[in-house]
Amino acid sequence: MISRLPAPRTQDPTTAPALRWGIMGPGWIAERFVSSLHKHTNQQVTAVGSRSAGRADDFARRMGVPTAHSGYDALLSDPAVEIVYVSTPHPQHHRCALDAIAAGKHVLIEKPMGVNARQAREIVAAAHHAGVFAGEAMWTRFLPKFDVILQIVDDGMLGTVRAVAADHGEYFTTDHRIYDPALAGGPLLDLGTYPVAFARWFLGDVSTVSAIGQPANHELNGQISAVLGHVGGGQSVLNTTILANTPTTAFVAGENGYLEVPGPFYQPGPFRVVPRDGEPLEHTEETAAHADGLHFSAVDAARRIADGAIDSDIHPSADVIATLDIMDRVRAQIGIDFAGD
């Protein structure tokens, strides 16, 4: 019988050793990442690099970053930068991360680490060889809410997990980069990575993949639904689309109860546990957006690097690669190719 929910074990983000960060690719997510670091941590954002001197200057001025570099090479030559946050579009992650590693920098790479599992493997191998940290900024996994959810499932409060469902759909207009085939557009890498990762966290590796997709236009996938069979038993039902807003909810169902996460399931916010016998239990937490949540993966990297580690123990590279492996299999069934495959 479930009587109360565990507390998050997440440490105070301001107690992490401060690293000097360089931002590579000052776009939408980079702005929120820097806001989150400035608001919630003692991390130092030292420099920003853009392909355009004007965009670097503009970002530095608006976000309070001391140094603006024209070009990514200049950012990587900056001895003050210890770790590079790679926030370029997905197909650029691989080159940017390898260049940063070759320059002796640690890297935290926006999700997905690469467009496919091979790219992620190569990044991880290069970091290992160079003795620097390489992590994926899959922010959801680092949120205090997910520490509570994982404790609930790992401690067996739901019993054996049998079924998982997760959905992430968002309507985009055709001028967004997500519509650009050259930038590995479509829903899978931007949005679908959350449902796929979520299913793996609770049911582990995948034995069977059954996926269908529909196009957004003549050159781009628009939506995917997939059913995964998991090696240890259990199955998951996943959905992702750029053609409509969806509830973005998720559940984990076990023999003794289910856990229900309202949308957006991948952001800070509440959830509830409904035991098979007994009253529902609520995890109360304000729903918050990126600028109040992206910092958790950064402080994990800072703590790990201070310990001399080259991988995250919360979101290890093995999980990053396994999730991309599943997405590769989903695409193979539908016939989706990406630039960089």
Ligand X SMILES: NC(=O)c1ccc[n+]([C@@H]2O[C@H](COP(=O)([O-])OP(=O)(O)OC[C@H]3O[C@@H](n4cnc5c(N)ncnc54)[C@H](OP(=O)(O)O)[C@@H]3O)[C@@H](O)[C@H]2O)c1
Point out which span in 86-94, 199-207, 233-241, 329-337 binds ligand X (CB under 6 A).
86-94
112 vs 257, beta carbon nearer ligand X = 112
Return the structure tokens found at 247.
């509830």
* 111, 202, 238 from 165: Cα distances, Å: 21, 11, 6
CB 48 within 8 A of CB 23: yes
Least Å distance between CB 38 and ligand X? 17
25, 185, 187, 257: which one binds ligand X (CB under 6 A):
25
Q: Is 50 in the site for ligand X (CB under 6 A)?
A: yes
- Going by the DSSP 8-state scheme, the letter that residue 245 receives in this structure is -
27, 262, 263, 270: which one binds ligand X (CB under 6 A):
27
CB 62 within 8 A of CB 34: no
Point out which span in 26-34, 38-46, 240-248, 279-287 binds ligand X (CB under 6 A).
26-34
CB 162 within 8 A of CB 255: yes
Least Å distance between CB 6 and ligand X? 25
Least Å distance between CB 210 and ligand X? 25
Least Å distance between CB 296 and ligand X? 11
Torsion angle of the four alpha carbons 175, 178, 181, 186, in this order, in degrees rounded to the nearest 10: -130
Residues 6+ apart with CB under 8 A from 17: 302, 303, 305, 306
Q: Is 269 in the site for ligand X (CB under 6 A)?
A: no
78, 99, 147, 190: which one binds ligand X (CB under 6 A):
190
Q: State the Rg of the chain over Cα.
A: 20
Residues 6+ apart with CB under 8 A from 8: 144, 145, 147, 148
User: Tokens 């690669």 appear where?
Assistant: 321
Q: Is 99 in the site for ligand X (CB under 6 A)?
A: no
Return the structure tokens found at 161.
């997990």
Point out which span in 84-92, 149-157, 237-245, 268-276 binds ligand X (CB under 6 A).
84-92
Least Å distance between CB 18 and ligand X? 22
Helix (H, G, I), strand (E, B), or coil: what is residue 118? helix
Binding mask 137-176 for ligand X (x = CB under 6 A): x-x-------------------------------------
Measure the CA–CA gap between 193 and 191, rounded to whole angstroms. 5
Q: What are the residues binding ligand X (CB under 6 A)?
A: 25-29, 50-52, 55, 87-90, 92, 110-111, 137, 139, 177, 183, 190, 290
